[in-house]
Structure formats: C-alpha cells, structure tokens
Structure 1
C-alpha cells in the first residue's frame, strides 16, 4: 500500500505543480491598467488635456456645408411655364448670396428643371430661363457672375415621379450646387 500512497502523493504534487505553473503563466500575462484609455471607436484622439470639441460637421465651404446652411433654400420653385423670381425665391436666393459672399473662391452651378409636360426642346429652354433668372438675381445681390454657371436639364432629371400637380410642382425648379 505504500506504493499506492506514493503514487497518490506524486499525482497530487504533479497537479499542484501544474496549477502553480498555470497561475504563474496567467499572472505573467496580466499588466497594469493604462493611465489613459484609448478612444472609443469613431472618436478622434485628443492630445494632452484638451477637451474634445463639438462633433465635426460638414467642412466649411463645402457642398455639404452649403446644403446644411440652406436647409432647402438651395432650391427655388416656379409656377407652370414661369421663370419669374417671387418673394419666397428672393429670400432663398438672398441666403445663397450670403453664403457665396462668405466663400468668395467658391463657384456654383444653377441647374434649371421643368416638369414632364411639354416637348423636350421647350422644357430645356424653360429650364435655361429658370436657371438664368436665379443667376441674374444672385448677380444683382453682388455675387460675381463669373462664379456662377447655368445648365438646363429640362424634364430629364425629375425629383418626383408621377403625373400629377404635386409631382410637377416639385420638378419645376432651379437648384444651386456649389463646385470646387
């Protein structure tokens, strides 16, 4: 029986040695907590003790900045077969002019559009008159005309599909897009 006791003791000693080796290995892998935690995913790292600034918005002077500041005023709308600038259009174009004057190196293109009614040629000509009316108003507000191009898409690029007054009203428009 003494040999059975010796084997049991050796087996326990081996188990204890294995347990001690495992504990030693685990403790060797552990490290101190870092003094500063890494930023959360998507956050920009902040140097030193600076506080993070407000969330980044669109780059100032970009098309995204223009669209955000205009909040829909980058588009003006027209009545059927019309290209005159009404009071609401004037207000939107004043906002556009202010932005363009704030960024004097930015250029813009005004896109003229029409609804689906009428021939292709008629709608291209009407879209051109609408774009030019918007451009001329911006120039009258002090924006350098050399910075503004116009293009007519006629009825080729509708924003609203449908053959009803609601869709047609959304498609009779001039849209200002800034370019670099």
Structure 2
C-alpha cells in the first residue's frame, strides 16, 4: 500500500509569495517586450529567467511533495523522500519496534535541526536531528506519528490515513504498540 501526505499540508504562504514575485517578473518582461522595441533582448532574458523560476517554485512546492511517500509491502518498507534525498527500502528484519506516539508527550523526539529535507507548518520530510541527539528520517504532518526503531536509524512516520497505515504496517511488518 502507498501512503502520502496531502498537498494542502505542504503549501504555505511562502509558495504564494514566491509565485507572486515570479508572476510580477513575467508580467514586467511581457510589458517591456510589447512596449519597448529596443529592450526586446532584455525582455526575452527576463522571460527565460521568470520561466525557470516558475518551474523551480512549482517543483519545490508541488512536485516534490507529490513524489514523497511510503510504501508498505509484505516484507519491507520503502521510503521516497525527494527533498530529504532518501530513496530506500528497509527490510522487515531490520525493524526492531514500532510504537504510536504523540510528539507533544515526547519532547526528546522534537525536531532540533534539519540535516536535509523540507518543513512547512506541520509538514516534515527528510532527515532531522532530534532533541535526544539522534538523527531520524521523518515523514509526517501532525503530532501523532509511528515511531519505528530500526537497526541503524529512527523513523517518525505520519502519512494521511494514519490509522489505516498503522493497521497495515502492523499486519505486514512489525506489531505496533500504542502509547496514546
């Protein structure tokens, strides 16, 4: 089963601010091109730059979150976290334990700093340093997550349809205990 986080959790005011700046840049370039024949070369450069910036903004705020997700298979867990540069499959044999936790009740699991990844509002995706000094691979939007301890890393997972995800994870991989 594939699990992801809704695009609405990842879009924030920064997206709209960047989009507004790019649209203004493109509008200025079109205006310059139409009204000043001597500045056509400059206007074309601005159109190309504005187009590239528009592609970048959509890639960062729309495409990358759409690509991110978790796949639970019979014997493994596959993580696709593009902004966290994580594409890996974790074997069931490497998983030690799984536990549902509310991050408000576990201050040692709070995000201390970002190693590589993306974070906006409640959305977190990538590799982060936690308050307890460990590095964790995270993919969640909200406070309730599945804490998975593996042989060589900690995972904090909280995709949409969390209850369905936990049930399926517990059936296919490792029994899940609840601390809530």
Larger Rg: 1
TM-score (norm 1): 0.25
TM-score (norm 2): 0.25
User: Counting strand residues as a fraction of each chain, which structure ranks higher?
Assistant: 2
